[in-house]
Amino acid sequence: MLTRRIIPCLDIHNRKVTKGVKFQNNIELGDPVEMAARYYEDGCDELVFYDITASAERRPIDIEMVREVAHAVRIPFAVGGGISGLPDMERVLLAGAEKISVNSLAVKTPHIIREGSRAFGAQCIVLGMDPLAVPNDPRFPSGFEITVRGFREHTGIDAVEWARKAVDLGVGEIVVNSVDADGTRAGFAIPLTRLIADAVPVPVVASGGAGNPQHLADVFEQAHADAAIIAGMIHTGEYTVSQIKADLVKAGIPIRQTW
Amino acid sequence: MIAIIDYKAGNLTSVKLAFDALGADARITSDPEVICNADRIVFPGVGAAGAAMRNVQDLGLISTIRNVVEKKIPFLGICLGTQIILDHSEEDGGVDTLGLIPGKVIRFQPTDPRDKVPHMGWNRVQASTRHPLLANIPDQSEFYFVHSFYPVPDHPENRFAETTYAGATFAAALGHQNIFATQFHPEKSGRIGLQLLENFTKWTPNRSA
């Protein structure tokens, strides 16, 4: 049986892992390579790194960091932020990452998905999306609007419509990061995640709101997520990956138990 | 020296880094001479079967690969590399492939919409035979998979391990004599994957066959 994946997310700012709420008030938590190695040893199934200021500062992603992570862990990892086109994607993949996450770039230039997918394979191209709840707005049949640039800009695009279009263009996976749940640690956005997971034939990763192991069990069982991203709950030391996995096993969720 | 065959089908950095971590001398190459003189061959790859076969042909590697297999050099296929050592793939409208082991490659056809394609993530692998490359790996260990098509060897004796997904129980590992080939990615499967690669670096097929 395919197991559900637990994916620690490391937001990188100036070569340090940071954590904020809704992209605000970021505090430094540690060295990304050391933290990646620690989570790998503790049994995480995959990792994701976002160079959160690369785009805003108009600089390329920190390739040396990607290389160091690739040396430190023997599991797949994705990298996002500061990707401006195919040459950046290629650099990231050659440095040892499995996947590239595109978000604002894909909204601005959707064909980048097709180009990346053709050049490197659909399994390499992950769509990150930041939907915001906009109930009762007739422009958005799903009830969610896609935002970009760290939730700062509205796009006028419906979340489900965008997910379907991105799959047609060739994404191999979609990370659904709820603007409303992000950083709250009050649980994943269940209806939103389920809406996207049930609308597309590719794996869906839930993101935003994880605060305890029950939140992960809920998003796997109720929202049909294939994987879940966690951040604050482990970065602060409140939980460890292996603890979370043990709780999920008890809850009857298929989880990778030996590593 | 271990030759990791580069036929422009995906990124081989992870494979090389995994052998580096084991202290093995592995080189990424598409040079037929280097490949022929290697002690062991790794044939990895991700991407589509059609383009992969064209690249193998354009690089003049078909006879090289046949040669090293006939010379009984230990040969490890990974993912797309495993698929194209069979006879035929359904991918890209149907592609004839290398035919080193009788069998075909077909697409997952999930009946439950919750079974997503690609099959992406960690899935349990059950050995169907005792093989030196599976030594010190507990049954039902999880390995990392990412693929939309899966291998179906014609003969049951070529199936070394099985995995179930989307209603199909398929050959997660297959082979014959000096060939061992996995649909999963040992180079991305943590310590258990490294164990398999370490087993490969020590494998003497003639003795075990």
Q: What is the pLDDT of residues A29-46, one digit of tens each?
A: 899 999 999 999 999 999
Query: Which residues of chain B approach chain A closer than 8 Å at the C-beta?
Result: 10-11, 13-14, 17-18, 21, 46-48, 113-114, 116-124, 138, 141-142, 144-147, 164-165, 187-194
- Rounded to whole angstroms, how far apart are CA atoms A208 and A181? 5
- Per the CB < 8 Å rule, is B17 touching A70? yes
Q: pLDDT value at position A52?
A: 81
- Selecting from 2.60.40.1180, 3.40.50.150, 1.20.1600.10, 3.40.50.880, what CATH number does the domain B2-202 have? 3.40.50.880
- Per the CB < 8 Å rule, is B191 touching A201? no
Catalytic positions of A: 11, 130
Percent of chain B with pLDDT over 90: 92
pLDDT tens column, B59-79: 999 999 999 999 999 999 999
Within 8 A of A98 by CB-CB distance, chain B residues are: 14, 146, 188
Q: Collect all residues with Cβ–Cβ distance below 8 Å to B11 and sequence separation of at least 6.
A: A93, A94, A120, B46
Average pLDDT over residues A198-213: 97
Q: pLDDT value at position B187?
A: 97
Sheet strands side by side (includes B149-153):
B95-96, B88-89, B103-107, B149-153
- Per the CB < 8 Å rule, is A76 touching B164? no
Report the predicted TM-score, pTM, of the whole model to 2 decimal places.
Answer: 0.95
Quickly state the pLDDT bin for A28 (edges 50, 70, 90). Answer: confident
- Rounded to whole angstroms, how far apart are CA atoms B166 and B189? 21
Q: What would the two tokens of residue A203 be?
A: 């794996």
- Per the CB < 8 Å rule, is B119 touching A94? no
Q: pLDDT value at position A53?
A: 79
Res A126 pLDDT > 80: yes
ipTM of this predicted complex?
A: 0.93
Nearest residue of A to residue B112, measured between CA atoms: A201
Listed by number, the residues of chain A in 44-83 with a beta carbon closer than 8 Å to a beta carbon of chain B are 45, 70-71, 74-76
Average pLDDT over residues A206-219: 98
Q: How many cross-chain Cβ pairs, A to B, lie less than 8 Å apart? A: 97
Q: pLDDT value at position A61?
A: 83
- Rounded to whole angstroms, how far apart are CA atoms A188 and A219? 6
- The mean pLDDT of chain A is 94
pLDDT tens column, A154-192: 999 999 999 999 999 999 999 999 999 998 999 999 999
CB A193 within 8 A of CB A220: no
DSSP letter at A3?
A: P
Res A22 pLDDT > 80: no
- Per the CB < 8 Å rule, is B122 touching A45? yes
Interface probe with B: pick from A1, A2, A123, A195, most Cβ of B within 10 Å: A2
Q: pLDDT value at position A13?
A: 87
Which residue of the set B79, B88, B91, B176 is catalytic? B79
Question: What's the distance, Cα to Cα, between the start and end of chain B in Å?
Answer: 22
Cα torsion for A52, A53, A59, A61, to the nearest 10°?
A: -20
Phi, then psi, of B88 in degrees rounded to 5? -150, 145
Where are chain A's structural domains? 5-250
Q: pLDDT value at position B209?
A: 43
Quickly state the pLDDT bin for A21 (edges 50, 70, 90). Answer: low
- Per the CB < 8 Å rule, is A95 touching B13? yes
Question: What's the distance, Cα to Cα, between the start and end of chain A in Å?
Answer: 17
Q: pLDDT value at position B185?
A: 97
Q: Say which CATH class A5-250 falls into.
A: alpha beta
Q: pLDDT value at position B208?
A: 45
Give A248: exposed, middle or buried? Use CB within 10 Å, 0-12, 13-18, 19+.
Answer: buried
Q: How many other CB atoms sit within 10 Å of the CB of residue B54?
A: 15
Res A25 pLDDT > 70: no
- Rounded to whole angstroms, how far apart are CA atoms B44 and A98? 14
- Per the CB < 8 Å rule, is A3 touching B17? no
Asked if residue B118 has a cis previous peptide bond (ω within 30° of 0), the answer is: yes
CB A192 within 8 A of CB A176: yes
Q: pLDDT value at position A54?
A: 78
Name the nearest CA neighbour of A228 among A3, A6, A25: A6
Which residue of the set B88, B147, B176, B185 is catalytic? B185
Measure CB to CB from residue A1 to each of B117, B123, B146 and give the nearest one. Answer: B123
Taking chain B (209 residues) in runs of 10, the rounded mean pLDDT of each run is 92 94 97 97 91 94 97 97 97 95 97 93 96 96 96 97 97 97 98 98 76
